[in-house]
Chain A
Amino acid sequence: MKLLTEHECADTSVTLCRSCDLVIRKRALPSSVRALCPRCHTPIYDAPYCSLNGMLALCLTAIIFFIPANLLPVLELHFLGSIRTTTISEGAMAVANQGYWVVAIAVLTSAVIAPGLLLLSVLSQILIIKYRLQVPFFRDILKRLLKYHGLLSQLTMLEIYMISIFVSVFQLTDYTDIYLGMGTFCFAMLFLVTLFLQREYHLEHMWSVLDD
């Protein structure tokens, strides 16, 4: 690899590593292959291909599961003839009522608010790109949504909440009868569909839509 001149950098065949600032010459990649920085192994770019319709389908499915996942109980406890159930938000409220609102905010943000906003944001992005890209007002909204996408997807921790439900079940089986609720099934589906949606979604590709 030779030293690149300023002229060569004007085109789009060159990029920089965001972790170590190395100049990298872009090459065509087969799909689902990721280019890593040769110096620090940060993922640099991949062949961005998103099927808008596929993403739209996944996104709508996820939104459909989101509602029962949050409204139906994730755990049921049977104790001396009485039944206690809890949803995700009730769990957060229970710790907030004890005065641990930092914990409550952390739980609510990563298991309810961030995933919900993420799905709504992706849905709006797809709809804008499909139908309203030429309108300056919607282009501006798309820009804002793309800017916050990274933050939202980092705050989304569905997989960790999923494991937590199972850990709680195992911890409590010694003391009482505990059952998984319908909410757990919807939550698991929400987690799976969101996982596939995030695999399909490429932020870089979404930005490039704004270029042309």
Chain B
Amino acid sequence: MTSPSEQPQRNQGKDLGLTLCPSCQQLMSHKATHCSRCGSTLAFRDYSSLQKSWALLITAAILLIPANIYPITIFTSQGQTRHDTIFTGITHLIDLNILPIAVILFTASILVPILKICGLTIYLLAISFRLPISKKRLMVGFHVIEWIGRWSMLDLFVISITAAVVNMGQLLDAKPGPAATAFALVILLTQIAAKVLDTRLLWDRLESQDDTNRNTESS
């Protein structure tokens, strides 16, 4: 046990028998099963969320492969048909000298999904295997991942607008390709994986390790 005066920051809700309602942020005793204000079921810690999050993340990582190797748009101009994957679509934009749009699409469709999957993997590994990574840094990264994740939707919106307006048969035509569904699922699954995770687990788990270290140092 650490004394409160030495470690004021170690004062967690679980030490006081308190928990926060997940939907309305009402402070409740951890013995209560339902929130007094909104009636939500209270979970002191959701230990199963780690497994759910892993399962969703692994599925998303697998789907990232078809999302990148199959064509995402099929574009016909004057009888010639191009099958563009996410990557060749972006290189094509660079060839056309539309660099700003290429940068936006590269960030939204390639950088963000990869950063998200790698970031979440590091985060889950840190909880599951108690890796010695700065918790503060992990948590800041997690908030960034939560925020940028939705921007991947950009490519899907662009595809739907283009497919609807560019529809002139052999002369000019745009259609989505098989990668579109895989890509949509990658966004969806990674977003849910971050959402279901009970982030308090990170602080609990690494906390106990820190405490054992401190005890061995002091003894």
Contacts and interface: CB of A to CB of B under 8 A. Distances in A.
A binds B: yes
Interface of A: 1-4, 6, 9, 12, 14-16, 18-23, 38-42, 74-77, 79-80, 82, 84-86, 90-95, 98, 100, 102-104, 106-107, 110-111, 143, 146-147, 150, 154, 157, 160-161, 163-165, 167-168, 170-172, 174-176, 178, 204, 207, 210-211
B50 interface: no
A40 B154 contact: no
Interface of B: 4-5, 8-9, 11-20, 22-27, 37-40, 77, 93, 96, 98, 100-101, 104-105, 135-136, 139-140, 142-143, 150-151, 153-154, 156-168, 171-172, 175-176, 180-181, 184-185, 187-188, 199-200, 202-204
B10 to A, nearest CB: 9
A21 B12 contact: yes
Nearest to A74: B161
27 contacts: A1-B11, A3-B11, A4-B11, A15-B27, A16-B18, A18-B22, A18-B200, A19-B139, A20-B139, A22-B9, A23-B11, A39-B136, A41-B136, A79-B171, A82-B168, A91-B161, A94-B163, A106-B184, A110-B153, A111-B157, A143-B38, A154-B150, A157-B153, A160-B157, A164-B158, A167-B104, A171-B158
Contacts of A79: 168, 171-172
A50 B204 CA distance: 35
